[in-house]
Structure 1
Amino acid sequence: MAVFGCARCGAELTVPVSPVALPDHARQTYGHELLPALMESGTYAVDPEPSGPPWRRWSEVGAQEAGARGVFAPVPALSFGSRGAVVVAPGDVRGTVLIPERCQGYCLGLDGSSGPNLACARCGQAVATRVDDCTLWQAVRLDPDAVQTLTADAPALPADWSALGREYEAIPPVEQGGWWDPRWEAALGVALAHLLAASAGTPVSLPDGLLAETLGRALDLLLPRGRAPRKAAALAGPGLPVPGPAPDILLVPRHPRTGEVWQAPPGVAHTVPVSAGVWLQLALQPARLPAPATGRLPDGVERDDPLPLRPHSLFRPDPRILLHTLARLPAVREPWLRAIHDRVGKSPYSRPF
């Protein structure tokens, strides 16, 4: 675990927190209401990308400089802030005060658009940015140039894949109101970007079930039709045998603690990382009868009471997360994939979004 503090005076700014991977929905905007905390209490993640002001437009930066910063397709603006912000839950922050002149927000809270809005209560140095406005997942981002690690982490342990289904929970795809969970929309927006890159512009076939229900329509609409043969994609990971013959693409879990991607066996051309909570639901979802059963249920058949939640709309991967991920994949420089990026960018809420 680690405790982070002010780099100027050494005051403690967080409770002890443990490292985890940055969630896929860290940059998601969703709905027009207050969202919960991005990070679970007692955890922190390090954002590898630059964040916060100053911002520069794509036209000012240019493709060459943007590419050197890991962005390979046009984006509205690039952050030239520092890399390595430490992201924690707002409730895990201590010893800070708001900076009133930097408390701008769009609607119901703070959006962090003016830069750090939290100062160290002891010495007054700006140390973090709190975000809690509507449509944004609530979080505090500690400025890597203004904080230090007071209590060092223990040496990082390798990912324990055997404990994935035991220590981490699957995320149900549908909320009580019949809406798709926004974390699914973000996670599969990331996965869709990697799937498109792995396809090399060839149609992709998915196994029947939830995976096809969530990603099949998007792949069919974004990839050219009529090209054969299709590339086969399937799920694989700890506790899940690799189907034979070996598919062209495997969707595998990304460890929620380390961010490490599960290593596929030799002979698989491409792997697509999927958020562990979503992967667990996709890979380990129990089989259900297609219709309610009557009388005594046979062995091995689950009860359908209560009935599983069903969405009231087709699944839509988050288009902004898709574009963000695509723009940072070198493959987007290929003309066919750049065309998909530009098409989605011009109409981010048309089919299938």
Structure 2
Amino acid sequence: MPAAVPAGKIPLTGAGMGEWSLGDVFVCAGCGGELTVPLARVALPVGARQSVGHEMLPALMEPGTYAVDPQPWGPPWRRWEDIGAEEAAARGVFAPVPALSYGLPGSVVLAPGDVRGTVLAPDRCGGGCLGLDGSDGPNLACADCGRPVATRIDDCSYWQAVRLHPAAVRRRAGPARPGADWGTVGRELRELRERGTPPVEPGGWWSPHWKAAASVALAHLLVASEGEPVALPGGLVTDVFGRALARLLPPGVPQRTLTLAGPGLPAASARDIALVPVHPQTGEVWPPAAGTPAVPLPADVWSGLAFPHDRSRLPVTGGLPRGVQRDDPLPLRPWRPFAFDRTLLLHTLARLPEVRRPWLRRIHDRVCELPWSSSLF
């Protein structure tokens, strides 16, 4: 199984970054007791709803950061058959899902190590395999007043996180500072060639963070394609998206080209589909030229595609005998083709209004019907 890489790792929260809401502390809405250390707000990691095999995974969020999930999360749940398409659409879901959360939107997501002043509720710790999965509802209570305030998730398959429940906490704002502009983001994105999340892990597995990012992006890319073939630029972009687009879109002469666009790169044309970065603090999508559809990617994944860094297998001068490769170390290579996260792809597609178009709904339904052994997943 792949070695765990934190899905929430966003290196751009370092010096000069992530300071636009520095030092927020969350307190119990009942008694005012402090529940967290001071935190800086960042964009919600794209893998917040990802599950990865039967693995014990690390924290979703970097220490000292938090994100707000705009979608409903947690129990109670209602089955699609009991809701109906009209009510689901009113809640922002436009294609069938097994069940729909009727929890509150706006849960605050942070690393478990940043929580303070809480105690575990023993009667709400069921349902997990090797840890807590949150299926019983809030399992953390305020240590001062006993009010349920949060849910901790640390079971296998899930990125570890604590979700503060929006109705149970209040934010005590810290000092606000200007966020980084796109020029600053662009300069640091280039540095991610050295310190970003690599696409392939040492064991030859594709990074689960990259899988999450690409699965969400694929949903937006299908919308932007308008159901027509898309030309790809080659390299890692084709390695990631090529097989899926060839299987899900019809054959023929491509009408659009998938192009990387963003800080430090030329502007995409109106006939392109632009792969663009998401601002690591605000979640803002890089705006391409007018009329160019945008497909968002987390900043570190976008940087890995836009500014690929690969170690040469040749010495600086001279050469090696034929058939001999350097091993200090060799570039990481995957042992199998890229595989998407079916759950995240379907979750994203179901929440895009365009999925109601017949051609895209057919793709959605095809993905639902594919066997788990499919080469796409």
Class of the TM-score when normalised by the shorter of the 2 chains: over 0.9
- Change in Cα spacing, 1:158 to 1:69, as seen in structure 2 (3 Å) is farther
Given candidates 301, 305, 321, the residue that maps to 1:282 is 305
- Change in Cα spacing, 1:30 to 1:153, as seen in structure 2 (3 Å) is farther
Q: Which runs of 5+ in 2 are unaligned?
A: 1-22, 320-325
Partner of 2:354: 331
- Change in Cα spacing, 1:295 to 1:185, as seen in structure 2 (3 Å) is closer
1:293 correspondence with 2:319: no
Deviation for aligned residue 1:150: 2.4
- Change in Cα spacing, 1:295 to 1:273, as seen in structure 2 (3 Å) is closer
- Change in Cα spacing, 1:163 to 1:294, as seen in structure 2 (3 Å) is closer
Given candidates 160, 167, 183, the residue that maps to 1:138 is 160
Partner of 1:187: 213
- Helix, strand or coil at the partner of 1:351: coil
Partner of 2:97: 75
CA distance in 2, matches of 1:327, 1:307: 41
Which AA in structure 1 matches 2:63? S
Given candidates 103, 124, 137, the residue that maps to 1:115 is 137
Deviation for aligned residue 1:170: 2.4
Partner of 2:223: 197
Deviation for aligned residue 1:205: 1.1
Q: Give CA-to-partner distance per residue, 1:290-348, whole Å, 9 cap, x none.
A: xx4367169xxxx9842210010110121111001000111100011111111111225
1:223 correspondence with 2:254: no
1:44 correspondence with 2:66: yes
Q: Which runs of 5+ in 1 are unaligned?
A: none
Partner of 1:26: 48
Given candidates 94, 108, 112, the residue that maps to 1:90 is 112
- Helix, strand or coil at the partner of 2:47: helix
Which AA in structure 1 matches 2:376? P
Partner of 1:235: 260
Partner of 1:65: 87
CA distance in 1, matches of 2:371, 2:272: 28
Partner of 2:332: 309
Quick check: 1:57–1:77 contact (8 Å CA) kept in 2? yes
CA distance in 2, matches of 1:153, 1:198: 39
- Helix, strand or coil at the partner of 2:375: coil
Partner of 1:340: 363
Which AA in structure 1 matches 2:286? W
CA distance in 2, matches of 1:102, 1:307: 48
CA distance in 2, matches of 1:41, 1:288: 30
Deviation for aligned residue 1:152: 4.2
Structure 1 residue runs of 4 or more that deviate by more than 6 Å after TM superposition: none
Deviation for aligned residue 1:162: 2.6
Instruction: Give percent identity, aligned residues only.
Output: 60
CA distance in 1, matches of 2:335, 2:180: 41
- Taking structure 1 as the reference length, the TM-score comes to 0.92
Count of aligned positions: 344
Quick check: 1:233–1:247 contact (8 Å CA) kept in 2? no
Quick check: 2:127–2:136 contact (8 Å CA) kept in 1? no
Which AA in structure 2 matches 1:187? A
- Change in Cα spacing, 1:161 to 1:255, as seen in structure 2 (3 Å) is farther
1:351 correspondence with 2:372: no
Deviation for aligned residue 1:204: 0.8
Q: Give CA-to-partner distance per residue, 1:202-237, whole Å, 9 cap, x none.
A: 0111101000011111110111123x3432111010
Which AA in structure 1 matches 2:267? V
CA distance in 1, matches of 2:93, 2:133: 24
Partner of 1:7: 29
Quick check: 2:179–2:281 contact (8 Å CA) kept in 1? no
- Change in Cα spacing, 1:131 to 1:162, as seen in structure 2 (3 Å) is same
Which AA in structure 2 matches 1:263? P
Deviation for aligned residue 1:135: 0.1
- What RMSD, in angstroms, separates the aligned Cα atoms of the two structures? 1.9
- Change in Cα spacing, 1:156 to 1:8, as seen in structure 2 (3 Å) is farther
- Taking structure 2 as the reference length, the TM-score comes to 0.87
CA distance in 2, matches of 1:265, 1:151: 36
- Helix, strand or coil at the partner of 1:25: coil
Partner of 1:170: 196
Which AA in structure 2 matches 1:239? G
CA distance in 2, matches of 1:26, 1:5: 23
